[in-house]
């Protein structure tokens, strides 16, 4: 990925008005909650973390939930959970649609909130449910997690990023009360590699990216990290082509993406590759590895 800076992608200076509004909602309502759950994509925990979050939450107890863990490399996800815990941040892997990890997430959230709720009771207040806010960039599965926690479709879901917009309170039984807020994305992608990985997963709307370029970089990354997944999925034998466009063309031919004259329909092939990755058809894949030292310090989260 060393050639990333030479790509034609602009610095992702995408910060729509609704993103700023979302940040304002979060800042204005943080005083209402006891715990913040930071929802990350388990495939790209570093790239899907919001670097402004530590500043925004300003000392609130924080829990990391690594969602879409069913799509991520299990071994790497365990390493990420251990990494966050070493940083003093409770973490749990979850698969919201299937409900995996949800009970642990709830119990950890209640434990984090207990000192605050106990303190209120000691001062004469009536016992109340723990109040929680879930924060995450678009398309990390926030609505799916909320629906699983609530036991019904309380939050509107869609495959496109950024569909959750308005603030809403959701009761999660007697012990948790959730303040839903829109997902937020940072205002400038200074880390180009992180921006590319977000594009791979669909966290950035496909209409806002150069799909040919994104697919090429994705294939280059997969060829370096998970070559056997490409061979298995697309029935490729031997060494993979070193040039991404040659690899895409080979995949396109294997998948029958041909037009008149036997030419590969590269746009169709690009859609197939990205869809296969996002749906898990390329197998469990993790594109962010946890630091082996303190390289991902608190101020980088």
Answer yes or no: is 68 a known binding residue.
yes
CA quadruple 266, 271, 277, 279: dihedral sign: negative
Answer yes or no: is 69 a known binding residue.
yes
Two tokens at 172? 């999660």
Answer yes or no: is 144 a known binding residue.
yes
Answer yes or no: is 47 a known binding residue.
no
Answer yes or no: is 3 a known binding residue.
no
Answer yes or no: is 141 a known binding residue.
yes
Q: DSSP for 198-253?
A: HHHHTSS-GGGS-HHHHHHHHHHHHHHH-HHHHHHHHT--SSPPSSHHHHHHHHHH
Length of the chain in terms of residues written: 301
- Separation in Å, CA 95 to CA 62, 98, 171, 205: 19, 6, 21, 22
* Cα–Cα dist 144/96, whole Å: 6
Answer yes or no: is 197 a known binding residue.
no
Answer yes or no: is 152 a known binding residue.
no
Answer yes or no: is 195 a known binding residue.
no
Two tokens at 232? 């298995």
Q: Residues within the annotated binding site for GTP?
A: 67-70, 139-144, 183
Q: Residues within the annotated binding site?
A: 67-70, 139-144, 183
């Amino acid at each position: 990925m060393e050639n990333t800076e030479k790509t034609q992608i602009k610095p992702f200076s995408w910060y729509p008005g609704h993103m700023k509004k979302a940040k304002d909602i979060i800042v204005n309502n943080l005083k209402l909650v006891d715990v913040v759950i930071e929802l990350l994509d388990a495939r790209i925990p570093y790239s899907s973390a919001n670097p402004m979050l530590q500043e925004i939450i300003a000392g609130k107890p924080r829990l990391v939930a690594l969602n879409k863990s069913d799509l991520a490399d299990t071994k790497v996800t365990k390493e990420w959970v251990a990494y966050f815990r070493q940083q003093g941040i409770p973490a749990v892997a979850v698969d919201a649609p299937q409900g995996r990890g949800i009970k642990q997430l709830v119990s950890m959230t209640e434990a984090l909130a207990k000192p605050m709720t106990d303190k209120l009771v000691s001062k004469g207040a009536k016992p109340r449910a723990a109040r929680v806010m879930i924060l995450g960039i678009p398309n990390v599965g926030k609505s799916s997690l909320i629906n699983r926690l609530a036991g019904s479709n309380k939050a509107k879901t869609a495959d496109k990023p950024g569909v959750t917009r308005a603030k809403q309170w959701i009761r999660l039984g007697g012990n948790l009360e959730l303040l839903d807020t829109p997902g937020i994305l940072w205002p400038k992608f200074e880390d180009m590699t992180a921006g590319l990985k977000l594009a791979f997963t669909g966290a950035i709307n496909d209409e806002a990216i150069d799909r040919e370029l994104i697919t090429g970089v994705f294939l280059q990354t997969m060829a370096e990290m998970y070559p056997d997944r490409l061979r298995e999925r697309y029935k490729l034998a031997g060494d993979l082509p070193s040039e991404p466009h040659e690899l895409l063309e080979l995949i396109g031919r294997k998948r029958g993406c041909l037009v008149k004259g036997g030419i590969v329909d590269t746009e169709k092939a690009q859609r197939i590759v990205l869809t296969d990755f996002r749906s898990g058809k390329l197998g469990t894949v993790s594109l962010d590895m946890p630091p082996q030292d303190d390289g991902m310090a608190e101020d980088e989260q």
